[in-house]
Amino acid sequence: MAQSPVPGRSRGQVIFDWLDERAGLTTIWKTVFARAVPETNWFYTLGSASTILAVVQVVTGMLLTIYYVPSPDHAYESIQFIMNEVTFGWLIRGMHHWGATLMVIVVFLHMLKCFFVGAYKWPRELTWLTGALLLLVVMLLGFSGYLLPWNQKAYWATAVGTSIIGAVPGIGPLLMEIARGGSEIGAVTLARFYGLHIWWMPIALLGLIGVHLYLIIRIGITHPPARNE
């Protein structure tokens, strides 16, 4: 076997030291993971659970785009193909489908925990604000993704959802037309929702999670109030 270039140090250690000196890996590790955190409880794991669910949704969603075809002629068949023909397609789609529902529930519970411990107060107002935007993005991801299977349920749910937008006083009809890409639900609506679902909203999601986590590292988290506080 080839000798390590530095006596007494393994090849792996030499490579790590080389990278660490240039990229500051130890500093990143200390800042992000080896932080001192206050004593908390299980409710404080809901934020990390939301982060993991976001990663699962992004990865399974990326895999689904390999076979999904966003056109009225092929969308439904492409989903059937994923479910019945693609190896583990049913699993990837199942994870994405149920992961979406789970994410809405977990993010909502995380928000409730933050509310009950008063984490929206100074100095965490921005953490709360980015969180509120994250909840909006998660809901828009769910709404835009619901149309993509292009089955009866998807079509009519979007018909109802977009007509609710149309009920906004004054600008409602205009907003509904923007959402549908015309007066009816059709190919343009599907293209619009697909674009929203795979580009606009995921970019917003990852960007906002980045800011949210930066603020958590910078400011720190609360700890559950004790009886005598």
Looking at 4-12, 109-117, 141-149, 167-175, which segment touches ligand HEM (CB under 6 A)? 109-117
Report if residue 221 touches ligand HEM, rule: CB under 6 A. Answer: yes
Backbone angles phi, psi at 87, to 5 degrees: -60, 125
Nearest partner of 41 among 223, 226, 228, 217, judged by Cα: 223
Q: CB of 64 within 8 A of CB of 96?
A: yes
Nearest partner of 137 among 205, 194, 196, judged by Cα: 205
Binding mask 38-67 for ligand HEM (x = CB under 6 A): ------x-xxx-xx--x-------------
CA 145, CA 60: separation in Å to the nearest integer? Answer: 13
Report if residue 117 touches ligand HEM, rule: CB under 6 A. Answer: yes
Report if residue 209 touches ligand HEM, rule: CB under 6 A. Answer: yes
Report if residue 100 touches ligand HEM, rule: CB under 6 A. Answer: no
**Contacting ligand HEM (CB under 6 A), which of 111, 147, 148, 190?**
111
- Minimum CB distance to ligand HEM smaller for 191 or for 211: 211
CA 67, CA 11: separation in Å to the nearest integer? Answer: 42
Report if residue 141 touches ligand HEM, rule: CB under 6 A. Answer: no
Q: CB of 113 within 8 A of CB of 43?
A: yes
Report if residue 131 touches ligand HEM, rule: CB under 6 A. Answer: yes
Residue at shortest CB range from ligand HEM: 131
Nearest partner of 92 among 114, 61, 134, judged by Cα: 61
Report if residue 110 touches ligand HEM, rule: CB under 6 A. Answer: yes
Helix (H, G, I), strand (E, B) or coil at 116: helix
Per CB under 6 A, residues contacting ligand HEM are: 44, 46-48, 50-51, 54, 107, 110-111, 114, 117, 119-120, 124, 127-128, 131-132, 134-135, 138, 209, 212, 216, 221-222
